[in-house]
């Protein structure tokens, strides 16, 4: 009986505190510090909400909020439906059937991810414009058709869907390839036809994978600024820009940002809830992959080829062709020492930002591993949230503490030195790099975390048993084993930074420019043709790693 009582005592606050004192080490503190640094912009937005909205807030609520909401809802519904239909159809046909050019199309379908959606938007504007490529081609064949105006929310939904569907394609295909074969065979043995197998069996089973991809698409839809701005569609993100930079009311931008954060968190919760409801067990015994069906008739094989090829055509080949055409027209004007310098600057910024992001992610992962406190593991997951938050919101969240810190420095400067030192952090590279780290930490975190999980616990444990401490174990054993993960993390962040637009627009230093911003500036200044060359440079840089990403997902 005495012992029973003793155990109740074991998790009393007093004993918890004793163990906390024993288990709290410097790694816990470092991990917490990094998590705080990453979460700071969100805290800042939450904190700033208390100082009330700006004067135009009530105006926005009355006249614009409905516009933002209805447009965003429209984009959610239309893009959501389109990416699921395109992504799942392609994934299923690619996994299930054998048809002409299937191995090539398998990875070509991922390439639309290499083109930022605002660049796809510019390209399609060029195709459908007065005197645009479509008209030129039709005129060549002496045909004519009624003008299609795509500079509206329908066009925007099309552009976003055709450039974002690979998220759904990739995760659905990974599911079909890794999990499905024995189920498929069982379904066949039970006499189910192809249609029944797909709709009754595969589609419900793939639902968590499809939704995971869909959530990424919806987050990218919220994140988009360039495409919506160019097509003149008012969304939350364009609203944030307008509130801060046209109307000059940061408080209102903060309120809009907070609303966006709420939407994003509901999406995340929805996905978690969905995953809890359906637990599709990992089918580890299945290793062979799907045995593909090869339709006996030739025309049938080409019939399967068409729906898989069309998304590649619309999402990659057409926009890239348009850009190449423009590039040939504008090469003389755009290419030159200034462009070379701009490219160097852009690559340099991406290089520094991805280095920092990778280092921070590695620190966060390993510091929390080295902390014996269980809750640290959960706290560090905050670090991964940045990717869900739209770039414009992160920019707003970063500017608030940066401005506050600068004002404090100015005060100190005045009282101590009697001079006005001006804004030091705001509008500096430091803040820009910091914001990139906040936004893209998750991009670095995932590949590093997954390779480190593959290494397992017993390898570092055995190093410790041989008398080697945490940090040395990392350098001697773990780092050599997770190198590939760190390298792919670096490449992925590098590309994302290179493509990033809204956050860069808000935070970039005055004299500094990036390829993405340059493309955006050309397009906004009615020189959309000139945007082709910086756009193509981004695409070329992004294409190789997209293939790398594909390999990673396949290996997983």
Partner 1 sequence: MLQIKEISKSFDGGKSYALRDVSFGMEKGDVGAIVGESGSGKTTLIRLIAGLERPDAGEIYFQGSLVSSIHKLVPPEKRKIGLVFQEYALFPHLRLIDNVTYGISRMKNKKARAREVLELVDLHGVEDRYPHQLSGGQQQRVALARALAPNPELLILDEPFSNLDAVLRAQLRNQVFEIIKKTGVTAIFVTHDTQDALTVADEILILKDGSLIQQDRAFKLYTQPKSMYVASLFGNTIMLDKALQSAFECPLNPQCCHAIRNENLTINTDCEYVTHAKVLKSTFLGNSTQLDLQLENGHRVSVITHERHIEDHIKIGFNSKDVMEFSS
> Which residues contact partner 1 by CB under 8 A?
3, 6-7, 10-11, 15, 18-19, 21-23, 372, 456, 458-459, 461-469, 476-477, 480-481
CB of 473 to partner 1, least distance (A): 8
Q: Give me the half-sphere count of Cα atoms (radius 13 Å) on the Cβ side of residue 100.
A: 11
Backbone torsions φ then ψ of 9, nearest 5 degrees: -65, -25
CB of 458 to partner 1, least distance (A): 4
- Within a 10 A sphere around the Cβ of 545, how many other Cβ atoms? 19
Cβ closest to partner 1, residue 419 vs residue 465: 465
Helix (H, G, I), strand (E, B), or coil: what is residue 166? helix
CB of 9 to partner 1, least distance (A): 9
Cβ closest to partner 1, residue 19 vs residue 300: 19
Contact by Cβ (8 Å): 324, 535: no
Cβ closest to partner 1, residue 24 vs residue 321: 24
Sign of CA dihedral 391, 395, 397, 398: positive
CB of 477 to partner 1, least distance (A): 6
CB of 289 to partner 1, least distance (A): 25
- Within a 10 A sphere around the Cβ of 434, how many other Cβ atoms? 24
Angle formed by the axes of helices 65-96 and 153-164, nearest 10°: 40
526 in the Ramachandran plot: left (φ > 0), alpha (ψ -120 to 50) or beta? left
CB of 284 to partner 1, least distance (A): 17
- Distance separating alpha carbons of residues 493 and 503, to the nearest angstrom: 15
- Distance separating alpha carbons of residues 260 and 248, to the nearest angstrom: 19
CB of 4 to partner 1, least distance (A): 11
CB of 272 to partner 1, least distance (A): 20
- Distance separating alpha carbons of residues 70 and 88, to the nearest angstrom: 26
Cβ closest to partner 1, residue 208 vs residue 460: 460
Residue 404 CB contacts under 8 Å (≥ 6 apart), including other chains: none
- Distance separating alpha carbons of residues 194 and 102, to the nearest angstrom: 19
Cβ closest to partner 1, residue 66 vs residue 375: 375
- Within a 10 A sphere around the Cβ of 348, how many other Cβ atoms? 13
CB of 16 to partner 1, least distance (A): 9
Cβ closest to partner 1, residue 12 vs residue 196: 12
Sign of CA dihedral 470, 354, 504, 226: negative
Cβ closest to partner 1, residue 37 vs residue 481: 481
3-state secondary structure 56-120: CHHHHHHHHHHHHHHHHHHHHHHHHHHHHHHHHHHHHHHHHECCCCHHHHHHHCCHHHHCCHHHH
CB of 332 to partner 1, least distance (A): 52
CB of 14 to partner 1, least distance (A): 10
- Taking alpha carbons only, the member of 345, 348, 344, 368 closest to residue 356 is 348
Cβ closest to partner 1, residue 12 vs residue 341: 12
Cβ closest to partner 1, residue 21 vs residue 284: 21
- Within a 10 A sphere around the Cβ of 215, how many other Cβ atoms? 21
Cβ closest to partner 1, residue 374 vs residue 418: 374
Cβ closest to partner 1, residue 9 vs residue 55: 9
């Amino acid at each position: 009986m005495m012992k029973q009582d003793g155990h109740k005592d074991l998790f009393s606050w007093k004993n918890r505190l004793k163990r906390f004192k024993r288990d709290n080490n410097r790694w816990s503190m470092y991990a917490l510090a990094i998590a705080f640094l990453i979460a700071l912009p969100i805290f800042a937005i939450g904190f700033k909400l208390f100082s009330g909205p700006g004067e135009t807030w009530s105006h926005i609520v009355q006249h614009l909020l409905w516009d933002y909401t209805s447009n965003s809802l429209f984009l959610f519904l239309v893009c959501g439906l389109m990416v699921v239909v395109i992504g799942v159809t392609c994934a299923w046909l690619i996994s299930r059937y054998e048809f002409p050019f299937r191995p090539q199309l398998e990875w070509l379908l991922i390439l639309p991810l290499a083109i930022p959606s605002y660049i796809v938007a510019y390209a399609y504007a060029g195709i459908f414009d007065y005197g645009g490529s479509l008209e030129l081609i039709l005129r060549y064949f002496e045909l004519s058709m009624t003008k299609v105006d795509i500079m509206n929310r329908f066009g925007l939904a099309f552009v976003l869907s055709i450039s974002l569907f690979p998220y759904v394609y990739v995760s659905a295909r990974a599911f079909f390839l890794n999990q499905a074969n024995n189920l498929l065979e069982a379904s066949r043995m039970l006499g189910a036809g192809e249609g029944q197998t797909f709709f009754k069996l595969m589609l419900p089973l793939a639902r968590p994978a499809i939704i995971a991809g869909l959530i990424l698409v919806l987050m990218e839809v919220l994140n988009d600024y360039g495409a919506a701005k160019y097509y003149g569609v008012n969304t939350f993100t364009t609203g944030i820009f307008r509130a801060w930079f046209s109307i000059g009311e940061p408080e209102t931008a903060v309120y809009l940002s907070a609303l966006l954060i709420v939407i994003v968190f509901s999406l995340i919760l929805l996905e978690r809830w969905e995953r809890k409801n359906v637990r599709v067990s990992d089918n580890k015994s299945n290793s062979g992959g799907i045995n593909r069906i090869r339709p006996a008739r030739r025309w049938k094989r080409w019939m399967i080829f068409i729906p898989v090829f069309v998304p590649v055509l619309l999402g990659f080949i057409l926009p890239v062709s348009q850009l190449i055409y423009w590039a040939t027209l504008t090469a003389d004007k755009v290419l030159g020492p200034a462009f070379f310098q701009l490219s160097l600057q852009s690559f340099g910024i991406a290089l520094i930002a991805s280095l920092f992001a990778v280092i921070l992610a590695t620190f966060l992962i390993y510091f929390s591993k080295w902390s014996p406190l269980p809750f640290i593991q959960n706290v560090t997951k905050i670090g991964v949230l940045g990717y869900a938050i739209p770039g414009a919101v992160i920019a707003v969240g970063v500017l608030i503490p940066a401005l506050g810190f600068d004002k404090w420095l100015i005060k100190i400067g005045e009282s101590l030195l009697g001079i006005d030192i001006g804004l030091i952090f705001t509008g500096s590279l430091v803040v820009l790099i910091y914001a990139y780290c906040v936004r893209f930490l998750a991009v670095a975190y995932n590949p590093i975390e997954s390779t480190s999980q593959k290494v397992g616990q017993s390898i570092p444990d055995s190093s410790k048993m041989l008398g080697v401490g945490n940090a040395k174990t990392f350098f001697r054993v773990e780092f050599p084993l997770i190198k590939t993960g760190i390298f792919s993390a670096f490449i992925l962040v590098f590309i994302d930074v290179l493509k990033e637009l809204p956050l860069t627009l808000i935070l970039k230093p005055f004299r500094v420019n990036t390829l993405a911003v340059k493309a955006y500036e050309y397009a906004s200044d009615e020189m959309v043709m000139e945007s082709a060359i910086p756009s193509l440079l981004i695409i070329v840089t992004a294409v190789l790693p997209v293939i790398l990403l594909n390999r990673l997902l396949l290996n997983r």
